[in-house]
Structure 1
Amino acid sequence: MRRESNRYPGKSRETRIENNMTAKEKIPISAPSSTVPRFNARESWRIFGIMAEFVEATERLNAIRPAVSIFGSARTPPDHMYYMLTERISRLLSDAGFAVISGGGPGIMEAANKGAYFGKSPSIGLNIQLPLEQAANPYQDISQTFQHFFARKFMFVKFASAYVVLPGGFGTLDELMEAMTLIQTGKSRNIPIILVHEPFWRGLLDWFRDRLIAERMINPADLDLIQLIDKPEDVVEAIFKHYETRGFLPLPEEHELMLNL
C-alpha cells in the first residue's frame, strides 16, 4: 500500500498540494471584480475604434485607382534636392493618371502631395496622430487621419499599384521592409518597389548582398523585388512597364489575396 508523505505531518492532501504550488500557480483564473483594471472596458471598445478606421478609410479610398504610395523623410526641407526630386516624380505620376498617396505630413510627404495636388490626379494624405503632433500638409485633396500605425500601413499597401521610396529614416525603412516582406511571402500582390537616389541606398543594398544573401537569410532573387532609379521620368516608365501586359487593377486572384492581407 502506498504510503503518504510525512513532509507535512497532520495536514491533508489538499493542504500539501497547496503548499507545493508556485506563486504563479496560485493566481486565480478569474480575479475578483474589484481587482480588474478599470481600463478593460476601454480596451474592448478600442477594437471598435480600430474597425471604424479600416471601414472609413476603405470607403473613402476604394475608388482611388490606380495609385502610387510615396515614402520619405518628414525632416526634408523644401529647398532640399530630395524634396524637389519627390515633387517632380509626384507631378509626373499625377499627370500620367496615378493618384499619389503619402503620409500627409511635412518633408518628403509634403513634396509628394504637392506634386500631385497641382497635377491631374488626386493627392491623398494618410495622416497619423502622434504624441509630438504631426501637422498635416495643405496639399491634400483627400485627407484621412489614423490613430493606429498598422491600420494606416494597411491602406498604403491595399491601394498602391507601386511603392516609390525616397531617402528617409526609421518610418521609411519600416514601410519599405513591410512591402518587401508581404510580397516575398506571397501575402500581397507583386507591385514595383522603386528606390530613388542610388547614393543614399547603396550601402543598404550592399549590406543585403554581403550579409543577408551571403548568410542565406534571403534568396538572391529577393533583391529583384527592388528597382533602383534616379530619374523621375524613369520612375514613371518603370511602373508602366510593369503593367504593360495587364491592367492596373488587381486581378481576381490578387483581389482575393488582398482580402487576406
Structure 2
Amino acid sequence: MTQDRQAARYRGPILDRRTRANSTTDQRLLDNRGPSDWVHTDPWRVLRIQSEFVEGFGALAELPRAVTVFGSARTPSESPVYESGVRLGAALAEAGYAVVTGGGPGAMEAANKGACEAGGLSVGLGIELPFEQSLNPWVDLGVNFRYFFVRKTMFVKYSQAFVCLPGGFGTLDEMFEALTLVQTRKITRFPIILFGTEFWGGLLEWITTTLVEAGTVSESDVALIRCTDDVDEVVRWIDESAGQ
C-alpha cells in the first residue's frame, strides 16, 4: 500500500483518500473574497452547520461525566509530556471520567491512550484540516467536524473540566475561550487546569504582572486558572469542583 493510499483526509465525518483540497470548510465559510454567489449559498450552509450540531449532540448525548484534555499534536511519543498525558488519561478514567481530546496525535493521543488502557471511555473530536490528520487509534468514540465553532461547543457542553498539557496556538485558543466563558458567566464555573508549571509559568507570570497591573483583568480572574505538575492533584481539584 502506497503512502498516498494510507493518507486519510476527512471532510467532516467523511473519509476521502483521493480528493485533495487546499482549503477547509471553515475557510470557505469565513472568507468573503471572490464572487458574490455566497449570497445564494450561505443560507444553505446553515443546514450543514445544523447537521453538525445534530450529529455531535446525538453522538455525545449519553456521554458520562467527562474531562477534556488539550495539548499539542506535535508532542513526540518519547517525550515526558506524552508520558504525563498517558498518566493523566489513566487517572481520569480510573476516577470515573470519560477523557475527551481533539482526537489527534501527540499529547491528545497520549491522554486517549491512558484512558483506553485504564478501561475508561476515550473520546476524540476531530476537525477538518488542510493537511492529513485522522483520529488516533486510541479513540473509542470519535466525531469529525468541519467547523471549529461547532467542535468547541461540544468540548464545553460535555466537559466538567479542561486540562491543558503543553501546547501551541490551538491549546491557547481553547484555554482562553474557556476562561472567557467562565469569566463572563456564560457557562458554569469549572476547573481550568494547566499541567506543567515550567511550561506555563511564563504565561501565568505575564498575566499576573502585565494584565493585572494594567487593569485589563482582575486578580479574581487569574484565580480561575490552576497550575500543577501532579496528576493526583488534577483529579482531586476536578472531584472537589464536582462536589465529590
With the length of structure 1 as denominator, give the TM-score of the two structures: 0.78
Q: Match of 2:28?
A: none
Q: CA-to-partner distance for each residue in 1:114-141, whole Å, 9 max, x for gaps?
A: 1111223210000001011222101111
Q: CA-to-partner distance for each residue in 1:132-184, whole Å, 9 max, x for gaps?
A: 12221011110100000010011111100010001000000000000000000
Q: Match of 1:48?
A: 47
Q: Match of 2:218?
A: 219
Take 1:60 and 1:40, find their aligned partners in 2: how far apart are those partners? 32
Q: Counterpart of 2:188 in 1: which secondary structure?
A: coil
Take 1:92 and 1:223, find their aligned partners in 2: how far apart are those partners? 26
Aligned partners of 2:145 and 2:151 also within 8 Å = yes
Q: Match of 1:194?
A: 193
Q: Match of 1:118?
A: 117
Aligned partners of 2:127 and 2:146 also within 8 Å = yes
Q: CA-to-partner distance for each residue in 1:47-76, whole Å, 9 max, x for gaps?
A: 111111111111110111200000000000
Structure 2: any 5+ residue segments left out of the alignment?
1-34
Q: Counterpart of 1:214 in 2: which secondary structure?
A: helix
Aligned partners of 1:97 and 1:120 also within 8 Å = no
Shift of 1:229: 1.2
Shift of 1:39: 4.3
Take 1:42 and 1:53, find their aligned partners in 2: how far apart are those partners? 17
For residues 238-257 of structure 1, what are the structure 2 equivalents within 5 Å? 238-244=237-243
Shift of 1:186: 0.5
Take 2:138 and 2:101, find their aligned partners in 1: how far apart are those partners? 11
Q: Which has the larger radius of gyration?
A: 1
**Amino acid of the residue matched to residue 109 of structure 1?**
M
Take 1:40 and 1:123, find their aligned partners in 2: how far apart are those partners? 41
**Amino acid of the residue matched to residue 138 of structure 2?**
Y
Shift of 1:44: 1.9
Q: Match of 2:88?
A: 89
Q: Counterpart of 1:163 in 2: which secondary structure?
A: strand
Take 2:161 and 2:222, find their aligned partners in 1: how far apart are those partners? 16
**Amino acid of the residue matched to residue 126 of structure 1?**
L
Take 2:156 and 2:218, find their aligned partners in 1: how far apart are those partners? 23
Q: Match of 1:157?
A: 156
Aligned partners of 2:52 and 2:145 also within 8 Å = yes
Structure 1 runs of 4+ off > 3 angstroms? 36-41
Structure 1: any 5+ residue segments left out of the alignment?
1-35, 246-261
Matched, 1:69 2:68: yes
With the length of structure 2 as denominator, give the TM-score of the two structures: 0.83
Take 1:129 and 1:172, find their aligned partners in 2: how far apart are those partners? 17
Report the count of equivalent residues. Answer: 210
Residue identity over aligned pairs, in percent, reads 45
Q: Match of 1:27?
A: none
Q: Counterpart of 1:60 in 2: which secondary structure?
A: helix
Take 1:177 and 1:79, find their aligned partners in 2: how far apart are those partners? 28
**Amino acid of the residue matched to residue 119 of structure 1?**
A
Matched, 1:129 2:123: no
Aligned partners of 1:74 and 1:108 also within 8 Å = yes
Shift of 1:42: 2.8
Q: Match of 1:14?
A: none
Q: Match of 2:3?
A: none
Aligned partners of 2:160 and 2:242 also within 8 Å = no
Shift of 1:38: 3.5
Q: Match of 1:23?
A: none
Shift of 1:205: 0.6
**Amino acid of the residue matched to residue 218 of structure 1?**
V
